[in-house]
Amino acid sequence: MKHFWGSAAVAALMGMTLPALAPAYADVKTGVDAWQQGDYAKAIAEWRPLAQAGDPDAQFNLGQAYKLGRGVPADLPTAIDWYRKATQQGHTRAEDNLGLLMFQQGDRSGALPYLQHASIRGEPRAQYIVATSLFNGDLIGKDWVRAYALMTRASASGLPQATESLTQMDKFIPEDQRKQGLAMAANLEKSEKSGVTLAAASPAPTTRAPVRPSPSAVRTTELPASTINQPTPTPVSSPKTVPQRVAAAKPQPAPKPAPKATPAAATIPAPAASGGWRVQLGAFGEEGRARGLWSQLTGKVSGLSAYQPYLVKAGTITRLQAGPIASSADATRLCSRIKAAGADCMPKKL
């Protein structure tokens, strides 16, 4: 939806003179200082007239305040309105929050253009949502290469749902398309890094005072976790439902269940001297996390330490596998023991 300025706001902008701009934009920082000290009412009082006059930083900050309910009652539609106004002036953080909040509120088709921009900039939650849409062909055309690339980047950022979905994608996306996706992910990573310096290097308008704070004055990391809560994916015959469709709210991983008792009959199979099977325990953006999981599991699953851990590299992703295993049946038995300890596991044929 395109937003047009009201006549009062336009008149306020057109009526400003250069001498009045410097102290006005300085007040954005005054509001930030008040916010950081917990004086939210003062922060709102500083930002509101500037936001109404068209300052994008003040508009973004007001959006944050209405989303969090600090200094003003929590009001998500009003937060969206302020984010949209700042977005129309090129405020990228506002655009990130606008897309995520619109998606969370159920306007998925309206949110998607903003989320696509945010995904290119490297916002992991946006990358996850867009990747899911590209995989399922929802709202936008199906593109498994790009879906795999964006999900890889989201996983590398530490988003647990993305790592789980990437494992599910491996079952359906052909190897050649996965390789193309990994190459695209590497290019996206370079683009994300260059985008940071590009924003910093953009010349400021000559009519504005240098004391104006950056758009990150009220940081997005202060927001409560938002946007994605994915049910655990289950293997199904149609790739349409893998990964599970994105639902609104909280990207924190669900707490791991307590280890379950395993029947005595389900003994762990002995490692084979050689074999065509392994079990895959997860995929990570950092090798250290894969090693950490292996240390945890060998302490929980009796007999697992007898297996050889494998750290399989694929672009920026490290997959943790264990083997060698003689047969599919043995791999399935081993996975049943690992799953009983509350961890993910998937048999893998070499």
Question: In Å, how far are 170, 270, 317 from 324, measured between CA atoms?
Answer: 20, 10, 21
Q: What number of other Cβ atoms are within 10 A of residue 135's Cβ?
A: 25
Cis before residue 205, ω within 30 degrees of 0?
no
Least Cα distance to 275 among 339, 335, 322, 345 occurs for 322
Instruction: Give pLDDT, residue 237.
Output: 24
Domains of the chain, by residue range, sit at 7-207+216-222, 277-349
Query: Taking the CB of residue 243, how many other CB atoms lie within 10 A of it?
Result: 24
The answer for residues whose C-beta is within 8 angstroms of residue 288's C-beta and 6 or more apart is: none
* 51 within 8 A of 81, measured Cβ to Cβ: no
Distant-in-sequence, close-in-space partners of 159: CB < 8 Å, separation ≥ 6: 124, 125, 128, 228, 251
* Burial grade of 142 (CB within 10 A; 0-12, 13-18, 19 or more): middle
Measuring CA to CA, which residue among 135, 143, 112, 126 is closest to residue 240? 135
Q: Pinpoint the alpha helices (H) of 157-209.
A: 160-169, 175-201
Q: Concatenate the DSSP letters of all residues of 213-241 into one string.
A: PPTTSS-GGGSPP-S--PPPP---S-GGG
- The pLDDT score that the predictor gives to residue 305 is 83
- To which H or E segment does residue 82 belong? helix 76-87
Report the chain (350 residues): mean pLDDT per 10 consecutive residues. Answer: 30 30 57 92 93 93 94 95 95 94 93 94 94 91 94 92 92 93 91 51 26 34 31 28 34 36 51 81 77 78 85 81 88 84 84
pLDDT number for residue 186: 92
* Choices 3.40.50.300, 3.50.50.60, 3.40.50.1820, 3.30.70.1070: CATH for 277-349: 3.30.70.1070
pLDDT at 195: 59
The pTM (predicted TM-score) of the whole model is: 0.53
Decide the pairing of beta strands 346-349 and 317-325. unpaired
Domain range 7-207+216-222, its CATH number among 1.10.4030.10, 1.10.600.10, 1.25.40.10, 1.20.1440.230: 1.25.40.10
């949110």: which residue's tokens? 111
Q: Which residue has the tokens 């943790």?
A: 320
How far apart are the C-alpha atoms of 229 and 4, rounded to whole Å? 34
Tell me if 61 sits within 8 A of 217, measured CB to CB. yes
